[in-house]
Amino acid sequence: MLTTYTTNRLELNILNPSMASIVLDFYNRNREFLEPLEPARTSNFYTYNYQHANMSYEYNSFIRNKCLRFWLFLNDTPRKTIGSVCFNNFLKGAFCSCMVGYKLDMEYCGYGYMHEALCKLIPIVCSEYAIHRINAMVMPENLPSIKLLDKLNFKQEGYLHSYAQINGTWRDHLLYTYLNHET
């Protein structure tokens, strides 16, 4: 698995902890946009030390083949991340599956960047990790994300009641699945 891939408009990078300031900048710019859609943040989340420690954990998880978080950069703006894609919860054996999650800077929504990134990364992850099934959970009212998953050939498989605590409230989610028919 490489740590950098490119598309027509993007560079997709697994970052090491030395890039924590770039990630912190992303979260600070998108605080009001992302907080209603994600688990409650700890009081020190918006600090360099927290992001550095989290990135150390994620980078070590990448080394151990447990988690992949690619940060998205526009090709012409290599020092400003516009989002991330994370593949995690890898299961082997009879399951050969993982989960995918993603987030995008509010300023860059609606331009196809996440679709472009996922079109590049999904086949790579399926091939490199022998993945047959990728699961994505999405809140029912998140229509842009549902539209993206539909466009990527994910299929809705279920309704998960009170699935995840988002910003302090237990929220229902839809289960979407991508099947890799090459395995």
Residue 182 has pLDDT above 90, yes or no: no
Residue 14 has pLDDT above 90, yes or no: yes
How far apart, in whole angstroms, are the C-alpha atoms of residue 147 and residue 150?
5
Percent of the chain past pLDDT 90, that is, above it, reads: 97
Q: At what angle do helices 143-151 and 113-128 cross, to 10 degrees?
A: 50
What number does CATH give the domain 4-132?
3.40.630.30
CA Rg value for the chain: 16
**Mean pLDDT across the chain, nearest whole number?**
96
Per-domain boundaries in the chain: 4-132
Structure tokens belonging to residue 69? 């978080």
Helices (H) and strands (E) in the chain, counts: 5, 8
Residue 155 has pLDDT above 90, yes or no: yes
- Please, what's the largest Cα pairwise distance for the chain? 44
Global model pTM greater than 0.85: yes
Three-state secondary-structure class, residue 61: helix
pLDDT recorded at residue 176: 98
Per-residue confidence band for 146, with pLDDT thresholds at 50, 70 and 90: very high
